Amino acid sequence: MKIQKFLITLVSSTFLYSAAVDGLAADFPYELTPFSFEGQSAFAQERSITGLPVVIHFEEAGYKSLRYIAAKHAAGPVPSETEPGHPTFVAIKKAFEEFNPDICIVEGFDSEVETLNWQQICDSSEFKDNPGSESIYTAQLAKGRGIPFIGGEPTNASILTHILQSGLSIDDYAYLSITRQLIQDYRDNKHLWENPDVYLETFVNDMGALYCEQITRKKYTFAEYEDWVKANYDGLFCFEELSDTRAAAPVIDGTRLQQIASVNSKHRDLEILSRIIMAAEKYNRVLVVYGGTHYYTQHRELERRFGTPRYENGEF
């Protein structure tokens, strides 16, 4: 599957990376907003946000400018004269044309070593007309314009350390990762899920062997995943529940899976903020492309540092 090949590329060099920025977030008193569906809904209403994507313009920090695309995760063909493209892709293309960033920060990878893998993905004919994600599309546009791009993620080694220090297990993180990839694949490739009972087992076995094994050094099977879900969902194992985008949302007082996601997302958001702040110290125009939930949890710290933003809704 295309998504599996992409994921394998991303994780292949994770444990080779060691740099000062990894874990840097722990040294900074960043203010995060705990996620809840109610809180996010109220936030959107207060700021007249009508849906995702929304483009947030920070332009009050002197000559520094930050543009944050709070994305709805996207797949499909790139915008063209004959193809309108996903609204998130359109917003990204518009940002490059109008904002002309000096650097881009994208979701989904962490290190300078992995940037080399993404450079190869940008050049791959497989992703040329159908990038597969907003992160790849952003990287393609940046590379084509000679603009540097970096990931905003902590390394997997750092995440695993944080998971253990939080009282969770490596297996917990692996099963969260499998569920997130399940949700993403179902969203982007519904035609493959016409018979979910059959495809689910194949997908989980592939993710457990090809993706999680390279992160945790352990292979996971469908049977083990099913047992874990039943143990944490009162004996339930339901595809409709697992494929719901809310299943892995970072809700601190939600289901066990959501609580694990909350621990992981907090670590990620702190690292993302550290990358944004460091980039803004060096560059004048910073473009960030991340899922909308991340912007919600980061918005207080961003407003504290960069001023009151302007929100751009539109028919992207």
DSSP class per residue in 112-125: HHHHHHHHHHHH-G
Does residue 5 lie in a domain region? no
* Model confidence, pTM: 0.87
pLDDT band of 315, cuts 50, 70, 90: low
Q: What is the pLDDT of residue 113?
A: 55
pLDDT band of 81, cuts 50, 70, 90: confident
* 50 and 136 fall within a common domain: yes
Please tell me the total number of residues recorded for the chain in this structure: 316
Residue 25 has pLDDT above 60, yes or no: no
* 270 and 133 fall within a common domain: yes
* 149 and 272 fall within a common domain: yes
Residues 199-220: what's their mean pLDDT? 89
Considering the chain, what percentage of its residues have pLDDT values greater than 70? 87
Q: What is the pLDDT of residue 11?
A: 37
* 63 and 184 fall within a common domain: no
Does residue 11 lie in a domain region? no
Least confident of 3-12, 197-206, 207-216, 291-300: 3-12
Question: Pick from 236, 256, 276: which residue ends a domain?
Answer: 256
* 81 and 229 fall within a common domain: no
286-297 CB burial, b ≥16 within 10 A, e <16: bbbbbbbbbbbb
Q: Which two tokens mark 204?
A: 């989980």
* 97 and 211 fall within a common domain: no
- The total domain count for the chain is 2
Q: What is the pLDDT of residue 68?
A: 98
Q: What is the pLDDT of residue 130?
A: 82
Residues 288-305: what's their mean pLDDT? 96
CA distances from 229 to 51, 212, 222 (A): 31, 16, 10
Considering the chain, what percentage of its residues have pLDDT values greater than 90? 63
| Sole residue written with tokens 């603009």 | 147
Question: Pick from 256, 273, 304: which residue ends a domain?
Answer: 256
Residues 32-38: what's their mean pLDDT? 96
pLDDT band of 6, cuts 50, 70, 90: very low
Amino acid at the residue 139: A
Q: How many CB atoms lie within 10 A of CB 169?
A: 12
* 183 and 238 fall within a common domain: yes
Can you tell me the distance from the alpha carbon of 204 to that of 225, in angstroms, rounded to the nearest whole number?
A: 8
Does residue 80 lie in a domain region? yes
* 143 and 224 fall within a common domain: no
**Using only C-alpha atoms, what is the Rg of the chain?**
19
* 223 and 150 fall within a common domain: no
Residues 159-164: what's their mean pLDDT? 94
Say whether 198 sits in a helix, a strand or coil. helix
Does residue 7 lie in a domain region? no
Say whether 227 sits in a helix, a strand or coil. helix
Q: Sort 281 into a burial class: Cβ within 10 Å, 0-12 / 13-18 / 19+.
A: exposed
Question: Pick from 210, 229, 256: which residue ends a domain?
Answer: 256
Q: What is the pLDDT of residue 16?
A: 27
CA distances from 73 to 135, 136, 249, 278, 291 (A): 9, 11, 14, 25, 6
Does residue 4 lie in a domain region? no
* 72 and 122 fall within a common domain: yes
Does residue 3 lie in a domain region? no
* 129 and 179 fall within a common domain: no
Among 28, 95, 27, smallest CA distance to 65 is for 95
Boundaries of domain holding 241: 169-256
pLDDT band of 146, cuts 50, 70, 90: very high
pLDDT band of 238, cuts 50, 70, 90: confident
Residue 55 has pLDDT above 50, yes or no: yes
Q: At what angle do helices 170-188 and 196-206 cross, to 10 degrees?
A: 130
* 211 and 282 fall within a common domain: no
Q: What is the pLDDT of residue 13?
A: 30
Residues 98-119: what's their mean pLDDT? 81
Can you tell me the distance from the alpha carbon of 25 to that of 94, in angstroms, rounded to the nearest whole number?
A: 31
Residue 206 has pLDDT above 60, yes or no: yes
Does residue 140 lie in a domain region? yes
Does residue 8 lie in a domain region? no
**Phi-psi category of 51—alpha, beta or left, where left has phi over 0 and alpha has psi -120 to 50?**
left
Q: What is the pLDDT of residue 132?
A: 83
Asked whether the CA dihedral 81, 86, 90, 95 is positive or negative, the reply is negative
